[in-house]
Chains A and B, each alone.
Chain A
Amino acid sequence: MSSLTFSPRDGPEQRLDLSPLIAQNLAGKTVAEIERIEVGTTRVRVSAGDIFRIHDGDRDSILIESGAERFDRVGMGMTSGAIRVEGQVGVEAGRLMSGGALTIGGDAGPFAGSGMKGGTLEIKGNAGERLGGPLSGETIGMSGGVLHVRGDVGARAGDRLRRGFILIEGRAGAYAGSRMIAGTLAIGDEAGDLPGYLMSRGTILLGRGAALFSPTFGDCGEHDLVAAQLLANYVGQASAKLAGLFRQPLRRLAGDLAALGKGEILLPSR
Chain B
Amino acid sequence: MPELMANGIAIDDTFAEAFDMRATAIVITAPTDRWAAQAATTMTGFATSVIACGCEAAVESVRSSEQTPDGRPGVRVLMFAVSTAELQKQLQNRVGQCVLTSPGSACYAGLDSGEDKLKLGDAIRFFGDGWQIAKRLGARRYWRVPVMDGEFVCESTTYLTKKAVGGGNLIVMGKSAAKTLAATEAAVEAMREIADVIMPFPGGIARSGSKVGSKYKGASASTNDPYCPTLKGAVDSALSPEIASVLEIVIDGLTSEAVAAAMRAGLAAIIELGAERGALRVGAGNYGGKLGRHHYHLKDLLP
Name A's B-contacting residues (CB within 8 A). 163, 182, 184, 201, 203, 223-227, 229-231, 233-234, 262, 264
Pair B135/A203 contact, Cβ less than 8 Å? yes
Which chain A residues lie closer than 8 Å to B124 at the CB level? Answer: none
Pair A230/B142 contact, Cβ less than 8 Å? yes
Which A-B residue pairs are the 9 nearest by beta carbons? A234-B137, A226-B153, A229-B70, A227-B144, A226-B106, A226-B70, A227-B153, A229-B71, A230-B70
Pair A226/B135 contact, Cβ less than 8 Å? no
Size bracket, chain B contacts: 10 to 19
Which chain B residues lie closer than 8 Å to A262 at the CB level? Answer: 131, 133
When C-beta atoms are compared, the residue in chain A nearest to B132 turns out to be A262
Answer yes or no: B138 CB below 8 A from chain A CBs. Answer: yes
Q: Determine which of A163, A201, A233 lies in contact with B71 in the assembled complex, contact meaning CB atoms within 8 Å.
A: A233
Cα of A203 to Cα of B153 in the assembled complex, Å: 15
Secondary structure of the A contact surface, majority rule? mixed
Which chain B residues lie closer than 8 Å to A227 at the CB level? Answer: 133, 135, 142, 144, 151, 153
Secondary structure of the B contact surface, majority rule? strand
Cα of A8 to Cα of B153 in the assembled complex, Å: 51
Pair B69/A230 contact, Cβ less than 8 Å? yes
Cα of A182 to Cα of B133 in the assembled complex, Å: 9
Complex interface bits, B114-138 against A, C-beta within 8 A gives 1, otherwise 0: 0000000000000000010111111
B:39-75 near A, CB below 8 Å? 69-72
Which chain B residues lie closer than 8 Å to A225 at the CB level? Answer: 144, 150-151
Which chain B residues lie closer than 8 Å to A229 at the CB level? Answer: 70-72
- Other A-B contacts than A227-B151, A229-B70, A230-B69, 12 sampled, CB-CB below 8 A, are A201-B133, A203-B135, A223-B151, A225-B150, A226-B29, A226-B150, A226-B151, A227-B142, A229-B72, A233-B69, A233-B71, A264-B133
Minimum C-beta distance from B81 to chain A (A) = 28
Which chain A residues lie closer than 8 Å to B72 at the CB level? Answer: 226, 229
Minimum C-beta distance from A239 to chain B (A) = 14
Q: Determine which of B29, B71, B134, B138 lies in contact with A234 in the assembled complex, contact meaning CB atoms within 8 Å.
A: B138
When C-beta atoms are compared, the residue in chain A nearest to B104 turns out to be A226
Cα of A121 to Cα of B142 in the assembled complex, Å: 24
Minimum C-beta distance from A141 to chain B (A) = 16
Minimum C-beta distance from A181 to chain B (A) = 12
Minimum C-beta distance from A206 to chain B (A) = 18
Which chain A residues lie closer than 8 Å to B138 at the CB level? Answer: 234
Q: List 6 interface pairs A-B (beta carbons < 8 Å), by A numbering.
A: A223-B151, A225-B151, A226-B29, A226-B70, A226-B72, A230-B137
Cα of A204 to Cα of B70 in the assembled complex, Å: 20
Most chain A CB neighbours (cut-off 10 Å) among B133, B135, B144: B135
Complex interface bits, B139-174 against A, C-beta within 8 A gives 1, otherwise 0: 000101000001101000000000000000000000
Minimum C-beta distance from A91 to chain B (A) = 28
B:58-105 near A, CB below 8 Å? 69-72
When C-beta atoms are compared, the residue in chain A nearest to B137 turns out to be A234
Pair B144/A163 contact, Cβ less than 8 Å? no
When C-beta atoms are compared, the residue in chain B nearest to A201 turns out to be B133
Minimum C-beta distance from A200 to chain B (A) = 11
Cα of A227 to Cα of B222 in the assembled complex, Å: 48
Cα of A222 to Cα of B220 in the assembled complex, Å: 56
- Known A-B contacts A226-B151, A226-B153, A229-B70; A163 and B133 likewise in contact (beta carbons under 8 Å): no
Which chain B residues lie closer than 8 Å to A231 at the CB level? Answer: 135, 137
Which chain A residues lie closer than 8 Å to B134 at the CB level? Answer: 182
Cα of A230 to Cα of B121 in the assembled complex, Å: 15
Cα of A224 to Cα of B106 in the assembled complex, Å: 13
Which chain B residues lie closer than 8 Å to A233 at the CB level? Answer: 69-71, 137
Q: Determine which of B70, B131, B136 lies in contact with A163 in the assembled complex, contact meaning CB atoms within 8 Å.
A: B136
Cα of A209 to Cα of B257 in the assembled complex, Å: 55
Minimum C-beta distance from A65 to chain B (A) = 32
Which chain A residues lie closer than 8 Å to B142 at the CB level? Answer: 227, 230
When C-beta atoms are compared, the residue in chain B nearest to A146 turns out to be B138
When C-beta atoms are compared, the residue in chain B nearest to A144 turns out to be B136
